[in-house]
Structure 1
């Protein structure tokens, strides 16, 4: 029988996790200790919603787009295909045509190997503006990347975000795929139901399909 344990593909929230440049750094602390309360420890977190492994809601880049609490959670649970496309500065139709994407539905792409999630990268693989139409043609409605964004850190037009959104493809960022073999998996990456939010951290996990 194959090993079908869940594989964690999330960045752990630690004091040294990288945050988007200029964003709120992650912190966790105990507001009250068991010694203070007499019964329990009570903690609090402080973070930007784009820190670590997270989904982008359309509202992130479109004032009229859906917010996190309005998204269909079915998008983030189900069959996913992992591919290794490391070595490209940009990924679009041209780079993906050599991969078998038939029946993928959700596509998770390893764009680099050995990335340190504790350091925001100086550069990372971004996506071309033809990525949305091409994935739609393939029947894919979720794109996951191990990079912090589908667009460059200094982009103001966010062409990849808009290309994906206009073609019904949702976005999962900052996944960790170094320890995952290419193939078909079951994905669970459910966002928190944060009302009004433009993004949400997720605990993303995979399990190999039979």
Structure 2
């Protein structure tokens, strides 16, 4: 069984503040040129994507510096669904998957926040506490994904703590990320260990069900091969095997 873990790439989709807007339009058409070709304008962090360590530090590896094994592996899915908005995923919550955290494992954090994709509520996602991220890295895990905008907290839109501006791509609709000081502590703990981070995943519920049933799960997060990149969009998928 193959499960698609990616959001669709469409015009007007949510983007992080300051990132390029996603624009998709016909560049060639069958009627005019004899073939259909789309013109794409988007950022490296658009939609479901992976961050290379270079994303937060010029001295860290770029996307093409990383081994391909970093983007494929057996999954451990951490169930933290039901957390209130803007809540940390604490170190104690790792206990349910502690026996699965080892080198080569792809850790997926299921917050359930993908149900808010495309709404202002998507900005109020749970996030990894800095200590949690450090423990994940210390366990040897080098691939971490989350079904939310970021592994770090996202600030409320300026001037509106409740709903805020539209979350469908307007620059400034999403405030600066990070705990006080905006230092992106979870990113720094993971990227500093040369881990990759997948964000804006979706549809992790079937994986949790498979894990509970003892079925093996393999996750693929292969990005576009962008030279010297900070990250790239991915078509994230999971293969669920038999018992």
Q: 1:204 is matched with which residue?
A: 236
Question: Are 2:136 and 1:140 aligned?
Answer: no
Q: 2:94 is matched with which residue?
A: 96
Measured against aligned partners, the alpha-carbon deviations of 1:41-74 in whole angstroms (never above 9, x if no partner) come to: 1211111121211000111101111111222121
Retained in 1: the 8 A contact 2:70–2:143? yes
Q: 1:47 is matched with which residue?
A: 42
Structure 2 counterparts to residues 103-114 of structure 1, below 5 A:
105-113=105-113
| 1:23 aligned counterpart, secondary structure | coil
Structure 2 unaligned spans of 5+ = 155-175
Structure 2 counterparts to residues 1-210 of structure 1, below 5 A:
5-37=1-33, 39-88=34-83, 89-102=87-100, 105-113=105-113, 115-119=115-119, 121-153=122-154, 154=176, 155=178, 156-182=182-208, 183=211, 184-210=216-242
Retained in 1: the 8 A contact 2:22–2:43? yes
CA distance in 2, matches of 1:209, 1:103: 20
Equivalent pairs, count: 205
CA distance in 2, matches of 1:6, 1:87: 26
| Root mean square deviation of aligned Cα | 2.0
* Distance change >3 Å, CA 25–CA 119, structure 1 → 2: farther
TM-score scaled by length of structure 2? 0.77
CA distance in 1, matches of 2:193, 2:66: 16
* Distance change >3 Å, CA 165–CA 178, structure 1 → 2: closer
Shift of 1:17: 2.0
* Distance change >3 Å, CA 51–CA 138, structure 1 → 2: same
| 1:122 aligned counterpart, secondary structure | helix
Retained in 2: the 8 A contact 1:127–1:150? yes
Structure 1 unaligned spans of 5+ = none
TM-score scaled by length of structure 1? 0.88
| 1:62 aligned counterpart, secondary structure | coil
- The 4+ residue runs of structure 1 with deviation greater than 3 A are 98-101, 136-139
Moved more, 119-128 or 53-62: 119-128
| 2:31 aligned counterpart, secondary structure | helix
* Distance change >3 Å, CA 134–CA 180, structure 1 → 2: same
